[in-house]
Amino acid sequence: MKHCSHCCYIVPPHILDRVLDQGNAKQKEWARNIIARSARLRGRRDAFASIGAALGVPAGTKRRTIYDSHNTETLPGDLVRGESQAPVKDSAVNEAFDGSGQTYDFYEQVFDRNSIDGRGMRLDSTVHYDQDFDNAFWDGRQMVYGDGGQFFQKFTASLDVIAHEMTHGVTGFESGLEYQGQSGALNESISDVFGSLVKQWVNKQTAANADWLIGEGIFINDAPGKALRSMKAPGTAYNDPDLGKDPQPAHMEHLYTGSQDHGGVHINSGIPNHAFYLTAIALGGFAWERAGKIWYEALPNIPPTANFQVAADIYYATAGALFQVGSTEQKAVADAFRQVGIQVSPRPQTAAVLPFEANQGTQVAALAATGTESRRDKERNSRRRKR
């Protein structure tokens, strides 16, 4: 497993910074508490990263376990529902159970992936974490959900939030994108992409009919915001006197270059988010069938320190490998990245793409001969032979 050494939160830190600067006394106290809790959780996440994949207990098949922290910081908490158990009275428990199951089903049915790690990792979730905890996160081995309270509603109510957090685990096992700068923004973007795709898949929505919003409806009723992020129109998801305005750029001309938010991981993710949206819209139909397949198959080839240019080149090469060089799909990827200010760098291509290897920051593409199986195809066919 390739690990990211940070807890991956759905609510970005720049919102907390804004509240500290512009909020009232109660809101500032809330923000300070969230920041302090996050610092403690980072230490926990780093410890998990050093232990490694042994923390993910393989179940071999879909196995969901939901825990309740009872508004404390205890993790995982008390077991309240397992895979074979019926729904309970607590809606947060049932939402976490259903959402993790729908995300598992998406990855299994669309990409033939067996859970987060590809080997049947158990899906652990904790609900009712801490008091007035306005966030949700992946901590390296499980999903954790707060109940909200100050600005947000309970996070289990949003399927794309659940799928977003689980996808951080997938990215950790497949690519290990470092949580800093453009590689961190790619990490966040990949979670947004597949968070949105899970929601579209469950609702049977085409790319044209999807809302392309992340965390839609998660704000409490009196908070003016439609979502945390918009892949269709980055920078327009919310605008609030206390929380500020959505700062996401949609083009490299407006790339954030400061140190806030680990170098803008939640901010600059708007650029690759928008590139995926443009690719999906250009191809039409169900976004997971072609655009999603390209992004998923490219993931193990993206090195941990990749920037947007490296990722764009890999997506472009993967589209050529999957759908033929010069195909509609490959042209859609190139055009989408051009529209966000990134010109792809074509390489000589054949029918399959082998993993890209990082060599002191230089990504080298090894291309297989026509008809050769990709690494992921070999793994998939091996699983099928064992069934």
Which residues are known catalytic residues?
165, 266
Task: Provide the token pair at 259.
Answer: 């140190």
Rounded distance between C-alpha atoms, residue 33 and residue 39, angstroms: 10
Distance of CA 107 to the CA centre of its chain: 13
Strands (E), the chain: 8-9, 64-68, 78-81, 123-127, 136-138, 143-145, 213-214, 229-230, 239-240, 244-245, 352-359, 362-368
Pairing of strands 244-245, 352-359: unpaired
Rounded distance between C-alpha atoms, residue 342 and residue 272, angstroms: 10
- Which among 369, 282, 380 is positioned nearest to 327, based on CA atoms? 282
Distance of CA 241 to the CA centre of its chain: 28
Task: Provide the token pair at 92.
Answer: 């947060």
Neighbours of 278 (CB within 10 A): 22
Sequence-distant contacts of 230-233: CB under 8 A, at least 24 apart: 231/192, 231/193, 231/196, 231/270, 231/273, 231/274, 231/276, 231/277, 232/274, 232/277
Computed on alpha carbons and rounded to an integer, the radius of gyration of the chain in Å comes to 20
Task: Provide the token pair at 67.
Answer: 């825990």
Task: Provide the token pair at 297.
Answer: 């198959």
